[in-house]
Amino acid sequence: MKTELIAGLTTFVTMAYVLATVPSLLGNAGLDKHVMLTAMVLLIIITSCAMALYTNRPFALAPGLGSVGIVASMITNEGISIPVTAGVIFWSGVLFILISFLGLREAVVRVIPVSLKQAVSAGIGLFIALLGAKNCGLIVANADKNSLAFGDLKSPEVIVAVIGFLIMLVIKVRNVPGGMILAILLTTMIGIPFGVTKLPDTPFSLPANIGEQFMRIDFLGALDFAYIPFLIALFVPDFFSTFGTVLGVGAKAGYLDKDGNLPGIDKCFKVDAIATSFGALFGMPSMTTYLESSAGVEAGGKTGLTVIFTSLFFALSLFLAPLALVIPSAATGPILIFIGINMLGAMRNIDFSDITEAFPAFVCVTFTLFANNIANGICVALPVYLIMKIAAGKIRKISPVMYILVAVCLLYFYTLV
């Protein structure tokens, strides 16, 4: 119970940034950010508890940041109304539900080779590590060189983050119980004299009334043929990101069998799919399984009780949001870096003597990082895998479902052009 509690708190702390980022992005798109904050927290609680009770897995759900960006762009750049945008989210969720309940998603997962499944876990690891490094300012985008580079190494945020990373290393080597949350709390306190940790004026806030946002949706208007590219752009990343996250975090928790499959993965898919359509009723972008669940797993979380506790902490944040936002990125960034690097161990399970297995796996890992998206890495790797297997004369070993997957990947890239 104690371990699951600490793991749930660790997941909450590493996910707490959504309290600030998601409502802000949606607020800039014309939605009431206070209403969206309350709606988001309630959806996180409901969907995460559903995942815990139905699957008994420590996977927490929240709006996918990629989906939030797409939705914000649809409203601000494309001029699509908020009700129609919510309708597009809803129908992408319905498509998700149909595929999940027909058992097609599990079939897809079983068709993808073990090498790519292991690569997904490693790719997610690098993605998490980069996310943590960017959040704390250690790595930034260098506009002059058009590449990533070190940030300002003299800045207080980076100094505190480096101190936090060293604390994390010492704690893990010494096997201190509850080490991750302890490292976060110590780093948060160290950030106070540096001016990185900003104490709030008041610890309390009241939730907003979400009644005005519920069912603000145009179901029929969203079925216009012109919105199909947006539906695909929302559906494909959600599909592959959930697949990647569930497998990646599941591997870290030791859930995968010898073939790299996660027993009962169809249950996870069903919860994720229904969560997307349910969230759309509040105008919320695709609810998806969150990468930060890996922090709870690393802290020892093994069952759904972990995210039950995570949900309880999010419930408290409805009234104590200012306190939740006290924890700076400089404190959570080092944790994500450590977790990400630790996930690279999955690469040792790939057969590097077979180039048709090793190279697509490498492509999956690198493009997850280079293209800054889990779905992009998978969608590049699958066509590469198919081409190399055909070239090697191993066409008979390729399942017909693989051709369908590759076609979906190409259609996805077409929507990005």
Q: What is the pLDDT of residues 119-162, one digit of tens each?
A: 877 887 788 788 889 888 999 988 787 888 899 999 999 999 99
Say which residue, 21 or 404, is predicted with more confidence: 404
Beta strands in 65-209 (DSSP E): 139-142, 147-150
pTM: 0.75
Report the greatest alpha carbon distance in the chain.
Answer: 67
User: Residue 277: pLDDT above 80?
Assistant: yes
pLDDT attached to residue 193: 95
Buried b (16+ CB within 10 A) or exposed e, 324-343: bbbbbbbbbbbbbbbbbebb
Helix (H, G, I), strand (E, B) or coil at 149: strand
Q: pLDDT confidence of 105, banded at 50, 70, 90?
A: low
Q: Distance of CA 260 to CAs 25, 36, 263, 356, Å? A: 36, 38, 10, 18
Beta strands in 13-146 (DSSP E): 61-63, 139-142
How many domains is the chain partitioned into structurally? Answer: 1
Residues 355 and 385: their CA atoms lie apart, in Å, by 10
Tell which residue, 399, 400, 404, 357, has the closest CA to residue 381. 357
Q: pLDDT confidence of 8, banded at 50, 70, 90?
A: very high
Say which residue, 25 or 331, is predicted with more confidence: 331
Q: Distance of CA 382 to CAs 99, 221, 260, 308, 390, Å? A: 19, 34, 17, 35, 12
What share of the chain in percent tops pLDDT 70? 98
User: Residue 309: pLDDT above 70?
Assistant: yes
- CA–CA–CA angle 227, 228, 234 (5° rounding): 95
Residue 197 in tokens? 């940790």
pLDDT attached to residue 195: 93
Range of the structural domain that residue 249 is part of = 2-416
The answer to whether 268 and 40 are in contact (CB under 8 A) is no
Tell which residue, 18, 43, 37, 35, has the closest CA to residue 287. 43
Instruction: Provide mean pLDDT across the span 209-221.
Output: 87
Residue 111 in tokens? 């068709």
pLDDT attached to residue 401: 82
Residues 357 and 146: their CA atoms lie apart, in Å, by 31
Residue 204 forms beta bridges with which residues? none
Residues 320 and 322: their CA atoms lie apart, in Å, by 6
Residue 366 in tokens? 């690198």
Residue 288 forms beta bridges with which residues? 62
Distance of CA 271 to the CA centre of its chain: 15
pLDDT attached to residue 389: 93
Q: What is the pLDDT of residues 19-64, one digit of tens each?
A: 877 887 788 788 888 888 899 999 999 999 999 999 898 899 998 8
Cβ count within 10 A of residue 322: 16
User: Residue 417: pLDDT above 80?
Assistant: no
User: Residue 222: pLDDT above 80?
Assistant: yes
Residue 393 phi, psi (nearest 5): 75, 25
Residues 99 and 152: their CA atoms lie apart, in Å, by 46
pLDDT attached to residue 308: 95
User: Residue 359: pLDDT above 90?
Assistant: yes
Residues 111 and 103: their CA atoms lie apart, in Å, by 13
